[in-house]
Chain A
């Protein structure tokens, strides 16, 4: 209980301290200390066994209602200010729904805050990865062209966002969940618009209205829960049965699809890539979008082996393939990472919606390791952007000569996403086994299995295509200039890499399977190779074979893009599937 309070309040206190003291060094100390404290608390919570619940005081509940109304009015104002009809309409719809719900909501209920296994696991991801990103953000903002106050505000906002995230994963009341959901939407909106230019503004508004759809479906879901079962609590709702239960749950899972930027909503997450890199890393990859699989996991006891669960698995699986495929047409590094995030979120949701014990565990593992690896990749992308001014993979050709260390981190990120024995790979491997074992009972999961296999192959193509751009380097007889990577960037990257390795070791050991441990053997071998690099000096060097051509070699990258017709069909298909979730929910 106290520890949860620490998780919620500490980031806010740290944000205040940052606001008070403008000294650069102090900022590092504060964010470093916050990271250390938060991860220790989260880890000790994770290892503690007991679940606990508590009520919010009445006054606080009223405060939340007021804050919620203010928030929605702020959205309305933003919609009015920038003349965006969609934002306005959705804000009004939410205001009306919210007002009506609060007027009929049952007063008494079970505890608003419930900390269970899933919440503790989420604490681990949010604070471990989020803390590292905050530490990185301090250095990143130094090079940003903004006023010192705005820079501190930025880091402070990231910290406050951490506490919002910490609260959302233990919210048991749907209305509290809605409030925090809207808070994350607000954070997204403000931080995407941070740079204040035309594109940022436009993309921020796009993110706003798309996420508002999520807010609306949550409210409708809550309304149905109140009418059907007279409750606004997740746990009471999930324990009930029959009636309109499936409809309510279906609507809530639709909010997850929106937050997880599943197609056709992937536009907001890609637009969000114009934001400063720490925002992309924190909100749009490592923590905030994880609300999507989290929500499906929370609902999975009801979703398991139902039509609604089936259709969400289907959407998730198809998104996994479609987003991986679409990523192959992109050349901006962060957009590529964004698409692959959308893809993997789809996979996590698909596994969570299957809802067997095994698939739930795998979805959680994927969540953790995806957060770590993607944070590492995004932060490395930020280094390339800040130190070398490269955003596009076309500009990154031969980067390994100029930024060997950063490229090393990126390659490590790719390897940790695709190869044994790292966590994300192991997750995919066990997912194949797990889904295959369900096939006899549910032949329809063949689609999920197929999507899992093909999507993984496409992601391999995607990552190593990017690697091809980074790697093409000259013979090592030609010396090239390298720029050292500054400590403020280096430390967060090292910490994340350490987490990835430690996590992989821990996960492998947990399997208690000697063969799984042996899978790590080749990777150890490869990592040991640099130790014999000195013995390579006895071989003579030569230049690559150019078939007699004298001109310098420029490696071309390969792009694959579906035709406009296919793209349109794809969006329509996913749109129909999205609506179908509600329809199926209504029918069952």
Chain B
């Protein structure tokens, strides 16, 4: 059963992405695309002629997608949270290297920003993992989901996680990595056809990745987890509609001052 879920993960992520576009359209009182629009897009992409810059650049996108999927599989299988975070880091690094490997200003700036984003959210994810460890006694997801009352014990870590969710789902105020209006999608701009499709699907997987962290705060109660995910989903989109993009350096400053302090205060609270 679990393998079926793993196999369907990109589709699940695609539905979340489609749902998000519907939600944002409703928030802005537009009609918006249908729920299945991401999949229509994908079929359209398959018909397009694929142009590539050079072979390693294209293959790295494929590798990025594959490694990301692997890390999602690790989440479903209940592995060690730290391993999952670092597998995800690995996937991001592949994408960043891809962005750097072409002589394109947009791709380069996109990669620079993507790297800064990694540096921003990575410590928070690890601190959240450490928080789970201190409360539940294990880094394994399989053990963590057996616990309860995480929200009461590590509320500030949840807040810290909330701050970095927009980075991962590329939403304002932290959508610096693609920033369509300034750098036309950053790394994405150099991809087309089937290889862009891989990047498009990895975006779906990113949704699964970051919302699984939110879900973990529900512990053994699936209902609480689902409610949390839905709540965060609404909140992130609300914030996205209401705020403007910050500069990359500013983003780093916000994360390293506000989010890290929240996490540290919470950890100290557990320990003392």
Listed in ascending order, the chain A residues whose CB lies under 8 Å from chain B are 398, 400, 411, 415, 418-420, 425, 429, 432-433, 436, 439-440, 443, 446, 449-450, 453-454, 456-458, 460-461, 464-465, 467-468, 471-476, 515-516, 519, 521-523, 525-526, 529, 532-533, 536, 539-547, 553, 555, 558
Contact of B66 with A398 in the complex, beta carbons under 8 Å: no
Q: How far, in whole Å, are A429 and B86 apart by their CA atoms in the complex?
A: 9
Interchain pairs with CB closer than 8 A, number: 173
Contact of A546 among B51, B104, B115 (CB under 8 A): B104
Contact of A526 with B190 in the complex, beta carbons under 8 Å: no
B272 at the interface (CB under 8 A from A): yes
Q: Hey, which chain B residues are within 8 Å of A474, CB to CB?
A: 103
A-B contact pairs, 29 of them (CB 8 A): A398-B103, A400-B101, A419-B90, A429-B86, A440-B134, A450-B264, A457-B123, A460-B122, A461-B116, A461-B118, A464-B97, A464-B100, A468-B108, A471-B101, A472-B100, A472-B102, A473-B103, A475-B103, A476-B55, A515-B83, A522-B67, A529-B59, A541-B52, A541-B54, A544-B53, A544-B102, A545-B189, A545-B190, A555-B100
Contact of B59 with A522 in the complex, beta carbons under 8 Å: no
Contact of A436 with B271 in the complex, beta carbons under 8 Å: no
Q: Hey, which chain A residues are within 8 Å of B107, CB to CB?
A: 544
Question: Which 4 pairs, one residue from A and one from B, show the smallest C-beta to C-beta distance?
Answer: A544-B104, A476-B54, A443-B271, A536-B55
Q: Hey, which chain A residues are within 8 Å of B9, CB to CB?
A: none
> DSSP class of B's interface residues: helix, strand, loop or mixed?
helix
Stretch at the interface among B15-23, B125-133, B155-163, B232-240: B125-133
Interface residues of B in 59-107 (CB under 8 A from A): 59, 62-63, 66-67, 70, 79-80, 82-83, 86-87, 89-91, 93-94, 96-97, 100-107
Q: Hey, which chain B residues are within 8 Å of A546, CB to CB?
A: 104-105
Contact of B100 with A467 in the complex, beta carbons under 8 Å: yes
B212 at the interface (CB under 8 A from A): no
- Chain A residue with Cβ nearest B140: A515
Contact of A420 with B90 in the complex, beta carbons under 8 Å: yes
Contact of B119 with A460 in the complex, beta carbons under 8 Å: yes
- Chain A residue with Cβ nearest B66: A525
**Distance to closest chain A CB from B247 (angstroms):** 13
Contact of A536 with B83 in the complex, beta carbons under 8 Å: no
Q: Hey, which chain A residues are within 8 Å of B51, CB to CB?
A: 539-542
**Distance to closest chain B CB from A438 (angstroms):** 11
**Distance to closest chain B CB from A32 (angstroms):** 34
Chain B: how many interface residues by the 8 Å CB criterion? Answer: 62
B268 at the interface (CB under 8 A from A): yes
Tell me whether A522 and B100 are in contact in the complex, defined as CB-CB below 8 angstroms, given that A420-B90, A468-B108 are known contacts: no
Q: Hey, which chain A residues are within 8 Å of B192, CB to CB?
A: 542
- Chain A residue with Cβ nearest B64: A526
Tell me whether A457 and B87 are in contact in the complex, defined as CB-CB below 8 angstroms, given that A432-B130, A536-B52 are known contacts: no
Contact of A460 with B89 in the complex, beta carbons under 8 Å: yes
- Chain A residue with Cβ nearest B133: A436
Q: How far, in whole Å, are A55 and B169 apart by their CA atoms in the complex?
A: 66
B202 at the interface (CB under 8 A from A): no
Contact of B62 with A529 in the complex, beta carbons under 8 Å: yes
Q: Knowing that A443-B272, A555-B103 are A-B contacts, what are 16 other residue pairs whose CB atoms are under 8 Å apart, sorted by A's residue number? A: A420-B83, A425-B86, A429-B83, A429-B86, A443-B271, A446-B264, A460-B89, A472-B102, A475-B54, A522-B91, A525-B67, A539-B50, A539-B51, A539-B193, A545-B189, A558-B112
Contact of B93 with A460 in the complex, beta carbons under 8 Å: yes
**Distance to closest chain B CB from A511 (angstroms):** 12
Tell me whether A526 and B63 are in contact in the complex, defined as CB-CB below 8 angstroms, given that A433-B82, A439-B271, A464-B93 are known contacts: yes
Contact of B103 with A536 in the complex, beta carbons under 8 Å: no
Q: Which of A420, A429, A464, A529 has the most CB of B within 10 A?
A: A464
- Chain B residue with Cβ nearest A444: B271
Q: Hey, which chain B residues are within 8 Å of A443, CB to CB?
A: 268, 271-272
Q: Hey, which chain B residues are within 8 Å of A457, CB to CB?
A: 118-119, 122-123
B139 at the interface (CB under 8 A from A): yes
Q: Hey, which chain B residues are within 8 Å of A419, CB to CB?
A: 86, 89-90, 93
Q: How far, in whole Å, are A523 and B91 apart by their CA atoms in the complex?
A: 10
> DSSP class of A's interface residues: helix, strand, loop or mixed?
helix
Contact of A545 with B271 in the complex, beta carbons under 8 Å: no
**Distance to closest chain A CB from B205 (angstroms):** 14
Tell me whether A453 and B127 are in contact in the complex, defined as CB-CB below 8 angstroms, given that A460-B93, A558-B112 are known contacts: yes
Contact of B93 with A436 in the complex, beta carbons under 8 Å: no
Contact of A468 among B94, B105, B112, B271 (CB under 8 A): B112
**Distance to closest chain B CB from A418 (angstroms):** 7
Contact of B86 with A420 in the complex, beta carbons under 8 Å: yes
Q: How far, in whole Å, are A521 and B122 apart by their CA atoms in the complex?
A: 22
Q: Hey, which chain A residues are within 8 Å of B56, CB to CB?
A: 533
Q: Which of A411, A539, A541 has the most CB of B within 10 A?
A: A539
**Distance to closest chain B CB from A513 (angstroms):** 9
Q: Hey, which chain B residues are within 8 Å of A432, CB to CB?
A: 82, 126, 130
Q: How far, in whole Å, are A405 and B126 apart by their CA atoms in the complex?
A: 35
B58 at the interface (CB under 8 A from A): yes
Q: Hey, which chain B residues are within 8 Å of A547, CB to CB?
A: 105-106, 184
Contact of A544 with B190 in the complex, beta carbons under 8 Å: yes
Q: Hey, which chain A residues are within 8 Å of B172, CB to CB?
A: none
Contact of B115 with A464 in the complex, beta carbons under 8 Å: yes
Q: How far, in whole Å, are A303 and B90 apart by their CA atoms in the complex?
A: 36
Q: Which of A418, A425, A467 has the most CB of B within 10 A?
A: A467
Q: Hey, which chain B residues are within 8 Å of A540, CB to CB?
A: 49-52
Q: Hey, which chain A residues are within 8 Å of B193, CB to CB?
A: 539
Interface residues of B in 258-272 (CB under 8 A from A): 260, 264, 267-268, 271-272
Contact of B118 with A522 in the complex, beta carbons under 8 Å: no
**Distance to closest chain A CB from B142 (angstroms):** 11
- Chain B residue with Cβ nearest A452: B126
Q: How far, in whole Å, are A450 and B127 apart by their CA atoms in the complex?
A: 8
Q: Hey, which chain B residues are within 8 Å of A553, CB to CB?
A: 103-105, 108
Q: How far, in whole Å, are A432 and B82 apart by their CA atoms in the complex?
A: 9
Contact of B93 with A461 in the complex, beta carbons under 8 Å: no
**Distance to closest chain B CB from A424 (angstroms):** 12
**Distance to closest chain B CB from A222 (angstroms):** 39
- Chain A residue with Cβ nearest B263: A450
- Chain A residue with Cβ nearest B185: A545
Contact of A542 with B97 in the complex, beta carbons under 8 Å: no
Contact of A536 among B59, B63, B264 (CB under 8 A): B59
- Chain B residue with Cβ nearest A526: B63
Q: Hey, which chain B residues are within 8 Å of A476, CB to CB?
A: 53-55
**Distance to closest chain A CB from B56 (angstroms):** 8
- Chain A residue with Cβ nearest B101: A471
Contact of B111 with A468 in the complex, beta carbons under 8 Å: yes
Q: Hey, which chain A residues are within 8 Å of B130, CB to CB?
A: 432, 436, 439, 449
Tell me whether A420 and B87 are in contact in the complex, defined as CB-CB below 8 angstroms, given that A457-B122, A468-B100, A544-B107 are known contacts: yes
Contact of A446 with B267 in the complex, beta carbons under 8 Å: yes
**Distance to closest chain A CB from B44 (angstroms):** 18
Q: How far, in whole Å, are A543 and B53 apart by their CA atoms in the complex?
A: 6
Contact of B90 with A544 in the complex, beta carbons under 8 Å: no
Q: How far, in whole Å, are A443 and B269 apart by their CA atoms in the complex?
A: 10
Contact of B82 with A467 in the complex, beta carbons under 8 Å: no
Q: Hey, which chain A residues are within 8 Å of B271, CB to CB?
A: 439-440, 443, 446
Contact of A532 with B59 in the complex, beta carbons under 8 Å: yes
Contact of A542 with B53 in the complex, beta carbons under 8 Å: yes
Contact of A473 with B101 in the complex, beta carbons under 8 Å: yes
Q: Which of A533, A540, A545 has the most CB of B within 10 A?
A: A545
Tell me whether A471 and B100 are in contact in the complex, defined as CB-CB below 8 angstroms, given that A439-B134, A532-B59 are known contacts: yes
Q: How far, in whole Å, are A553 and B102 apart by their CA atoms in the complex?
A: 10
Q: Hey, which chain B residues are within 8 Å of A467, CB to CB?
A: 97, 100
Q: Hey, which chain A residues are within 8 Å of B66, CB to CB?
A: 522, 525
Q: How far, in whole Å, are A443 and B271 apart by their CA atoms in the complex?
A: 6
Q: How far, in whole Å, are A415 and B60 apart by their CA atoms in the complex?
A: 14
